[in-house]
């Protein structure tokens, strides 16, 4: 999977799980302020990402610092490289 | 004390998903009971159940909202929105600390089962998902409705087995009458799934005549042999009369009495004195005498012991006279936690549309009920003063007096 394909897959997963539109999903979009996702949604985000990409996120300090969609894309790409 | 009126009702029932559809079923004596093939395969003693048809849970809620909601909470939300629409209230009327939410609910089985399955399958509590903890609570209905509606007053659920819904309406009435709330959205909700009913089925309390599902539930009939589990959600908007009148609301009826008692006897068998004690208290609170009641919406579930106990209690309360009596459970099955509230909705529908619903499947009156006017036929007049009975495991009783 190329990097653009990974990003698209992440966006597809989020759109499905949280009923987001692709118009909303600008890279700079902030999860809390722009996409209205909260700490409970973060729990479910971990589950869908772990199951889709087969890496572990739980207790990852870098994941806790994620604020924007772009932050998440970078995080997922880094984690995939570690596999 | 303030006068308390009904200004809206809504219901998702095995008799229909709108007030008009339910009215038609009640008037025509149509049953909402079927055979569930899955319960046959699983070896249930009784595969009968009420079934809700053509309800779309996606119609009014997003996926994110539904994540924390049980099926019965989603149905309660639909019933509540219909009741609020009927009431004419607007969000600015209910988003304040004088508006409350009280529902009857005493279980939430699926989420508890699902979370254990997911933990065993995934090996990590973090992978169970965010919604399960909320869905597994019996207060699931009121916690979600509170968040969705943004009411700021009372927000809790009452768990008292099959009288939960009755006590919820009763407590809502009490809070408004005492001036502690201006309006309360109250009701009851009951899950319909085999998982929540399998151990109850094992007690042998369910109907055994499964050849004709619509005839299986026969309250007060000599040949009754058990209840049929059912469910859904019922919602009622109660308001202080002076507020409702001031805003020009349509007044559907009045809650004018609530009485409660407990048997203090057995866990599963009701006493012959508890329900009539609650009934007498409700009549006293309503400042009426037994002969003023012209319709009893009975608790009668079609169990051999329960219907006898209610018949004895009714004879004690009415002392030789008898209003018209019917059990809507003959058509719906036993809506359990919801039933005490759905009886208020069904009675309000009857009053609005000018009839008293029949106690279907009553062919031979059980001897213990002789002298009581239990009607197997639809009566072509509206009820004016109604007593709604409900009783639950452990011997907890709720009686409501409604005036139309």
- Of the residues B77, B256, B299, B399, only one is catalytic, namely B299
Q: Does A62 touch chain B (CB under 8 A)?
A: no
Closest CB from A17, A40, A43 relative to B126 = A43
Alpha-carbon gap, residue B119 to B164, rounded angstroms = 32
What are the phi and psi torsion angles at B173 (to 5°)? -60, -45
Q: Any idea which residue has 């869905």 for tokens?
A: B135
Is B334 a residue of the active site?
Answer: yes
Is B299 a residue of the active site?
Answer: yes
Domain A3-82 has CATH 1.20.58.100: no
pLDDT, tens digit, 9 for 90 and up, residues B241-252: 999 999 999 999
Is the ipTM higher than 0.95? The answer is: no
Q: What is the CA radius of gyration of chain A?
A: 12
Q: What angle do CA B153, B158, B162 make, to 5 degrees?
A: 150
The crossing angle, in degrees rounded to 10, of helices B304-318 and B274-286 is: 40
Q: Which of B130, B133, B144, B147 to mutate to test the interface with A (most CBs of A within 10 A)?
A: B130
User: Closest residue of B to A44, CA-based?
Assistant: B129
E strand or H helix that includes residue B19: helix B19-28
Predicted confidence at residue A4, as pLDDT, reads 95
User: Closest residue of B to A46, CA-based?
Assistant: B127
Q: Does B124 touch chain A (CB under 8 A)?
A: yes
Q: Which of A44, A51, A54, A60 to mutate to test the interface with B (most CBs of B within 10 A)?
A: A44
pLDDT, tens digit, 9 for 90 and up, residues B23-46: 999 999 999 999 999 999 999 999
**Residues forming a β-bridge with B391:** B397
Q: Does B208 touch chain A (CB under 8 A)?
A: no
Chain A hits for B124, Cβ within 8 Å: 58
The percent helix, strand, coil of chain B (3-state, each to 5) is: 40, 20, 40
Predicted confidence at residue A83, as pLDDT, reads 79
pLDDT, tens digit, 9 for 90 and up, residues B121-161: 999 999 999 999 999 999 999 999 999 999 999 999 999 99
Secondary structure letter of residue A59 according to DSSP? T
Q: Any idea which residue has 């699926």 for tokens?
A: B110
Q: Does B67 touch chain A (CB under 8 A)?
A: yes
pLDDT, tens digit, 9 for 90 and up, residues B260-305: 999 999 999 999 999 999 999 999 999 999 999 999 999 999 999 9
In the predicted structure, residue B320 carries a pLDDT above the cut 90? no
Structural domain boundaries of chain B?
Answer: 4-403
Closest CB from B62, B64, B130 relative to A43 = B130
Q: Which CATH superfamily is domain B4-403 in?
A: Thiolase/Chalcone synthase (3.40.47.10)
Q: Does B129 touch chain A (CB under 8 A)?
A: yes
Averaged pLDDT for residues A45-59? 92
Chain A hits for B129, Cβ within 8 Å: 43-44, 47
């Amino acid at each position: 999977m190329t990097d653009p394909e990974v990003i698209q897959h992440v966006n597809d997963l989020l759109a499905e799980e949280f009923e987001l539109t692709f118009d909303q999903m600008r890279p700079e979009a902030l999860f809390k302020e722009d996409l209205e996702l909260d700490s409970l949604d973060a729990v479910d985000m971990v589950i869908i990402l772990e199951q889709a990409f087969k890496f572990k996120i739980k207790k990852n300090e870098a994941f806790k610092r994620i604020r924007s969609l772009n932050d998440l894309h970078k995080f997922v790409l880094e984690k995939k490289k570690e596999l | 004390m303030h006068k308390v009126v009904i200004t809206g009702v809504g219901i998702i029932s095995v008799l229909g998903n709108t007030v008009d559809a339910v009215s038609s079923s009640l008037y025509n004596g149509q049953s909402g009971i079927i055979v569930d093939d899955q319960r046959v395969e699983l070896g249930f003693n009784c595969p009968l159940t009420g079934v809700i048809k053509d309800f779309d849970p996606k119609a009014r809620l997003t996926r994110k909202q539904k994540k924390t909601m049980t099926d019965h909470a989603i149905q309660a939300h639909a019933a509540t929105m219909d009741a609020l629409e009927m009431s004419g209230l607007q969000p600015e009327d209910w988003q304040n600390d004088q508006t409350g939410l009280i529902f009857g609910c005493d279980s939430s089985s699926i989420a508890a089962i699902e979370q254990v399955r997911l933990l065993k399958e995934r090996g990590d509590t973090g992978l169970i998902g965010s919604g399960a903890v909320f869905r597994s609570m019996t207060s699931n209905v009121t916690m979600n409705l509170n968040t969705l509606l943004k009411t700021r007053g009372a927000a809790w659920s009452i768990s008292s087995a099959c009288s939960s819904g009755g006590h919820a309406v009763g407590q809502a009435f009490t809070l408004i009458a005492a001036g502690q709330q201006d309006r309360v959205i109250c009701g009851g909700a009951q899950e319909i799934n085999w998982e929540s009913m399998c151990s109850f089925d094992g007690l042998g309390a369910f109907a055994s005549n499964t050849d004709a599902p619509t005839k299986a539930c026969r309250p007060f009939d000599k040949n009754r042999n058990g209840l049929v589990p059912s469910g859904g959600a019922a919602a009622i908007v109660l308001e202080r009369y002076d507020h409702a009148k001031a805003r020009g609301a349509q007044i559907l009826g009045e809650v004018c009495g609530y009485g409660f008692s407990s048997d203090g006897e057995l866990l599963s068998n009701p006493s012959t004195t508890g329900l009539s004690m609650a009934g007498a208290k409700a009549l006293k609170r309503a400042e009426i005498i037994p002969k003023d009641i012209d319709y009893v919406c009975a608790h009668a579930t079609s169990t051999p012991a329960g219907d006898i106990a209610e018949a004895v209690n009714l004879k004690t309360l009415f002392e030789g006279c008898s209003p018209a009596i019917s059990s809507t459970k003959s058509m719906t099955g036993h809506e359990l936690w919801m039933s005490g509230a759905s009886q208020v909705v069904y009675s309000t529908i009857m009053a609005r549309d000018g009839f008293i619903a029949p106690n279907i499947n009553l062919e031979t009156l059980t001897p213990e009920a002789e002298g009581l006017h239990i009607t197997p036929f639809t009566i072509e007049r509206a009820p004016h003063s109604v007593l709604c009975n409900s009783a639950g495991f452990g011997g907890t009783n709720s009686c409501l007096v409604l005036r139309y």
